[in-house]
Chain A
Amino acid sequence: MRTWGVSLVITRHVLIALVIGGLGGLLVMAFLIELDHATSRSEFCTSCHSMRFAEQTYQASLHFDSPSGVRASCGDCHVSPGLMAATWDHLVGLRDLFKEFFGPDYADPAVNLLHLPEAAFSAREWFRKRDSATCRRCHTQEAILGERANTAAIHREEAEGKTCIDCHYNLVHRRVPDEQTFKRDAWNAMVEEEMGLEPGEAARLLEGPGSGCGEP
């Protein structure tokens, strides 16, 4: 027994702990995988009322209805690839859940639309920071041929230093201008006209009775 020093360390208890720990770790991994799976599904995301507006535009987009039958779910685009990154994204997503309960009434179409630009800006920033990693899950830049002449050439020669989201925004959800040229007054006026609100009501809704509830 004394011949192997290792056996001094691997006692029975350590062995049991390792097995339990290993199994536990596997279980946690399995749990996280299942959690990511479950919470990346479109059905999960749209179970909040406020998400039905994003769902409507998504369902009208090519990412929902493509001729090839490939359908991207919410998570395919909005949750990072890789288990740790995905877990982190879901953790951050808890903030949205908190705001859903305690923030403005996002289920109200006007309130939702008024807050859409900031949501879009932060989503674009999220894509940019990750070099559009979720786009690249399905799209391989070198393989893009396109239907128009020269689409392939443009993606080869004109895309240097650019990431997908730099050019391809406003693809799936309702159109929002780039942050640099966004004009809050014009947006509010558009919402007021569309929703039949009195002039100035958009600004009041944006302040909201629940102002201070974690609004940026």
Chain B
Amino acid sequence: MIVIRKLRVLLLLPIFGGVALGAILFSGQAMAEKVTLDPSLWGHPAGEACVSCHAKASAGLTDQWRESAHQAAGVNCMDCHQADRADVDAMEHEGQIIATIVSPKDCGRCHDKEFEEQRGSVHAEAFAIIETRLPALADNVGGPAMRSASCDQCHGSQVKVRGDGTLDSATWPNSGIGRINPDGSKGSCSACHGRHRFSKAQAREPDACVRCHSGPDSPDKEIFEASKHGMIYAAQRDDMHLAADAWIAGRDYTAAPTCVTCHMGGAGKLPASHDVGMRNVWSLNTPVSERQYLVVFEDGAKMELPESAEIPKRGSELTRPDGSLGTVKVVATPERRRQAMSMVCLECHGKGFTQGFMAQLDGVVGLFNTKFAEPAKTIMQGLYTEGLLTPTPFDEPIEFTYWELWHDEGARARHGAAMMSPNHAWWEGMYLVGRNFYARFLPEARAAAGFKSVELVDTVLDAQGPHQWLKDPNRANPILGFGGEEAD
């Protein structure tokens, strides 16, 4: 009891305007938010005609809608697809002015809470974050056709409306989660909520995430499935109550967690949020992981800020990634974000268990940083500074090696540890990081450095304790089938 009270005091401790922060991280209704809009504002009179024709013209789409909660509530095609004739992507269709794309802003007419939460999240910013980096891989290594077929499928496209009112097929169809919509809003609700049924149960399934969170750089599907969480989920899926109205972990279900449970879902007193990255302490997809602040601006936008940066004060102005200035409303510290995530864990696990697990994760991230990520970054920086590598990425083999070291293998190791797949943490992750580092990266770095390799490579390694074992070439070990017997 005392522990719980202590925890509660800790959680409610005001830090940097903690009241507002509490509102963002910890308070709010624990129930799924109900739409507050007056029901007289939906049920567009023209909607019936849409259904009558589309039941014939595109029966699958109409059937999906017929089985939806939207249909049950009287929300029809026009309620979501209606447009103003001045809208960039507005078009005339059978006497109505509509738009094909229903943006988060459109959904937000009713689902305002979810719209505000996802605004500025890593999901909504998924395209904006990588926009300037995109050409190096998408255009140079790949080609423009790959953008629409792959990059944009997950990160979202910047939808282009042509002068004749059509949507440019290079950018549409697209339901990438960071899509830049014609109305300027970012995101795509249908990235996770399959249209036109918009089933709660479907969005709560781990499968809602796998289209993007799978594969070599973020194998979260594979990690989840290989974890104890995934194992129990598969066995006890029938007890998950996935279609329930309210879906609070620890109250409405306890069988197992899904992706949503930990990253978005309500758990005990922790409210659900459509800001998917809010509970993440670490950046796990960067060359070097950093613990990060979550900065919330007055206008609702959000930004991640590494712990090494200066902590912005409430009310101060900060330049955002898109170049605009924002006034800081609240800042969530990494500790605070971990508390939020831990609240989910605590619904099923003890406090010591939870803290122990977090320490294990931090250990893996710390190891990756100090042993591989930081030295590799220093070595690469040296090669660029000395002009031994051209500034253009991926025109030298070592750039692929370095990229995969942190973006693929390093991410797998870190994600594997964060979500408890031992295989991904080691064999698919840190083992490959090590193999890459020792057997590819270092030889390539030495080759690129030439006569400067002692200065640019070896001194960096020597400064790092973990690599001292390389200095002792005579310590036999039977692992490879040699040397063990002689040692006896």
Q: How large is the interface on B (under 10, 10 to 19, 20 to 34, 35 or more residues)?
A: 20 to 34
Q: Collect the chain B residues with CB atoms within 8 Å of residue A166's CB.
A: 94-95
A189 touches B163 (CB 8 A): yes
Contacts A181-B85, A181-B92 known; A190 to B164 CB distance under 8 Å? yes
Q: How far apart are the CA atoms of A167 and B97 in the complex, in Å? A: 13
Q: How far apart are the CA atoms of A154 and B91 in the complex, in Å? A: 21
Within 8 A of A (CB), among B64-101: 85, 87-88, 90-92, 94-95, 97
A175 touches B164 (CB 8 A): yes
Surface stretch bound by A, among B52-60, B364-372, B374-382: B52-60
A181 touches B94 (CB 8 A): no
**Which of A153, A158, A162, A188 is close to B163, meaning CB atoms less than 8 Å apart?**
A188
A158 touches B95 (CB 8 A): no
**Which of B90, B94, B164, B165 is close to A167, meaning CB atoms less than 8 Å apart?**
B94
Q: Which residue from chain B places its CB closest to the CB of A170 in the assembled complex?
A: B164
Q: Which residue from chain B places its CB closest to the CB of A182 in the assembled complex?
A: B165
Q: How far apart are the CA atoms of A205 and B43 in the complex, in Å? A: 46
Q: How far apart are the CA atoms of A148 and B58 in the complex, in Å? A: 10
Min C-beta distance of A138 to chain B, whole Å: 23
Q: Collect the chain A residues with CB atoms within 8 Å of residue B161's CB.
A: 186
Q: Which residue from chain B places its CB closest to the CB of A184 in the assembled complex?
A: B163
Q: Collect the chain A residues with CB atoms within 8 Å of residue B85's CB.
A: 180-181
Q: How far apart are the CA atoms of A115 and B471 in the complex, in Å? A: 78
- Whether B234 is near chain A, meaning CB under 8 Å from some CB there, is no
Q: Which residue from chain A places its CB closest to the CB of B90 in the assembled complex?
A: A181
Q: Collect the chain A residues with CB atoms within 8 Å of residue B56's CB.
A: 149-150, 153-154, 157-158
Q: How far apart are the CA atoms of A193 and B168 in the complex, in Å? A: 14
- Whether B49 is near chain A, meaning CB under 8 Å from some CB there, is yes
- Whether B214 is near chain A, meaning CB under 8 Å from some CB there, is no
Q: Collect the chain A residues with CB atoms within 8 Å of residue B90's CB.
A: 181
**Which of A157, A180, A183, A188 is close to B92, meaning CB atoms less than 8 Å apart?**
A180
Q: Which residue from chain B places its CB closest to the CB of A160 in the assembled complex?
A: B49
Number of interface residues of A (CB under 8 A): 26
A191 touches B163 (CB 8 A): yes
Within 8 A of B (CB), among A167-216: 167, 174-178, 180-183, 186-191, 193
A181 touches B97 (CB 8 A): yes
Q: Which residue from chain B places its CB closest to the CB of A202 in the assembled complex?
A: B163
A150 touches B163 (CB 8 A): no
User: Which has the most chain A C-beta neighbours within 10 Å: B59, B91, B162?
Assistant: B162
Q: Which residue from chain A places its CB closest to the CB of B92 in the assembled complex?
A: A178
Within 8 A of B (CB), among A118-166: 148-150, 153-154, 157-158, 162, 166
Q: Which residue from chain A places its CB closest to the CB of B53 in the assembled complex?
A: A158
Q: How far apart are the CA atoms of A175 and B168 in the complex, in Å? A: 13
Q: Collect the chain A residues with CB atoms within 8 Å of residue B165's CB.
A: 175, 177, 181-183, 186
Q: How far apart are the CA atoms of A166 and B92 in the complex, in Å? A: 10
Q: How far apart are the CA atoms of A109 and B166 in the complex, in Å? A: 21
Inter-chain pairs besides A158-B56, A162-B95, A177-B92, 15 sampled, C-beta below 8 Å: A150-B57, A150-B59, A158-B52, A166-B94, A166-B95, A174-B164, A177-B164, A178-B91, A181-B91, A183-B163, A186-B88, A186-B165, A187-B164, A190-B162, A193-B163
Q: What is the interface of chain A, defined by CB distance below 8 A to chain B?
A: 148-150, 153-154, 157-158, 162, 166-167, 174-178, 180-183, 186-191, 193
Can you report 25 residue pairs joining A to B where beta carbons are below 8 Å apart? Answer: A150-B59, A153-B56, A157-B52, A157-B56, A158-B52, A158-B56, A174-B164, A175-B166, A177-B92, A177-B164, A178-B91, A180-B92, A181-B85, A181-B87, A181-B90, A183-B88, A183-B163, A186-B162, A186-B163, A186-B165, A187-B163, A187-B164, A189-B163, A191-B163, A193-B163
Top 8 A-B pairs ranked by shortest CB distance?
Answer: A190-B163, A178-B92, A177-B165, A150-B56, A181-B90, A187-B163, A186-B163, A158-B53
